[in-house]
């Protein structure tokens, strides 16, 4: 396996109110074959929802508040035990401003500065469940577009053997580093750069997940996705509204399935 960049790395160049319909719009687009995903690291057992069920501590420090959030997510239809376990394990209140801490475990998006938001727990868990697609163990290498405050990156680190997360706004990149420092996640690499270009040095990826929506999925993301890999991202649909897109890369091309309406910040190029 080729050598991975040290942490942190730098790039030099530049979720949903409705539940999914049972049938999405499917489009098959031919694509050039690329190298298969190399074997991932040995499967690791993810934290189960039961592991965070016993209340302890007080206030936001108590696992009881996270357990209640997980129970609400399950009631909304999230059934992947690894996703529920990871959502229950990461303390969301550590990633929001102190003035909003009492809303940390509500199913709502919250501002994190620079015009960006932390997504609803329901949206995060929905996209992660789609990304995992029923896989039993951990995923291999995953690319996240849009680190934001670092919350979803932390959850991803419990679901994948290795995570690369790119943020184009220096202020948020630095905030995420501060938010994540106490967790000491050795398998999480934060990158500052243009997310629209992906991160070719870490490719191919078992999965790619994006927290910003554009007119179409950048070709660089498709190129960097492994055969058999899955991409989950918001895209601008008919009428200008955003919808959740699932893209599966097969030996014969890519299959795109459009699901429910979502609302994310727009996908932009460059760094700031």
Each residue's pLDDT tens digit, 157-173:
999 999 999 999 999 99
Is 236 among the domain residues? yes
Active-site positions read: 119
Whole-number Å distance between alpha carbons of 187 and 158: 9
28 domain-assigned: yes
Output the pLDDT for position 258: 95
Residue 56 lies in a domain: no
pLDDT score for 60: 76
Residue 185 domain flag: yes
- The residues pairing with 126 across neighbouring beta strands, listed in sequence order, are none
Do residues 174 and 192 touch, judged by C-beta distance below 8 A? no
Whether 218 is covered by a domain: the verdict is yes
What pLDDT shows up at residue 238?
Answer: 79
Q: What is the DSSP string of 27-73?
A: EEE-----PBPPPPSPP-PPPPGGGG-S--SSGGGSHHHHHHHHHHH
* Domain range for 124: 9-46+119-266
- Euclidean distance between CA atoms 42 and 244, whole angstroms: 31
The CATH number given to whatever domain includes residue 190 is: 3.40.50.150
pLDDT < 50: residue spans in the chain: 1-2, 5-58
**Cα–Cα distance between 28 and 104 in angstroms, integer?**
39
Residue 62 located in a structural domain: no
Rounded mean pLDDT of the chain?
A: 84
209 φ, ψ (degrees, to nearest 5): -130, 135
- Total domains in the chain come to 1
Within 10 A of 171 (CB to CB), how many other CB atoms are there? 13
Residue 65 maps to a domain? no
Considering the domain boundaries, does residue 80 fall inside one?
Answer: no
Radius of gyration from C-alpha coordinates of the chain? 17
Q: How far is CA 141 from the centre of its chain?
A: 12
């Amino acid at each position: 396996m080729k050598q991975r960049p040290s942490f942190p790395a730098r790039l030099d160049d530049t979720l949903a109110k409705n539940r999914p319909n049972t049938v999405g719009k499917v489009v098959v687009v031919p694509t050039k074959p690329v190298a298969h995903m190399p074997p991932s690291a040995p499967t690791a057992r993810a934290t189960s929802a039961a592991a965070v069920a016993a209340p302890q501590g007080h206030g936001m420090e108590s696992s009881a508040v996270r357990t209640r959030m997980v129970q609400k997510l399950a009631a909304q239809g999230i059934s992947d035990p690894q996703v529920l376990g990871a959502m229950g394990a990461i303390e969301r209140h550590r990633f929001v401003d102190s003035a909003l801490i009492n809303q940390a475990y509500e199913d709502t998006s919250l501002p994190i500065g620079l015009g960006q938001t932390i997504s609803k727990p329901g949206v995060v868990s929905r996209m992660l469940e789609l990304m995992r697609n029923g896989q039993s163990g951990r995923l291999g290498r995953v690319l996240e577009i849009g680190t934001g405050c670092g919350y979803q990156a932390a959850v991803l680190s419990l679901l994948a053997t290795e995570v690369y997360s790119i943020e184009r706004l220096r202020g948020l990149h630095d905030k995420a580093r501060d938010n994540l420092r106490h967790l000491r996640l050795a398998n999480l690499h934060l990158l500052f750069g243009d997310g629209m270009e992906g991160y070719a040095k870490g490719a191919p990826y078992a999965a790619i997940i994006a927290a910003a929506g554009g007119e179409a999925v950048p070709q660089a993301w498709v190129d960097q996705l492994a055969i058999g890999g899955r991409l989950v991202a918001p895209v601008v649909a008919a009428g200008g509204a955003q919808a959740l897109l699932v893209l599966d890369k097969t030996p014969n091309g890519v299959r795109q399935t459009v699901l429910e309406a979502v609302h994310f910040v727009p996908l932009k190029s460059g760094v700031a």
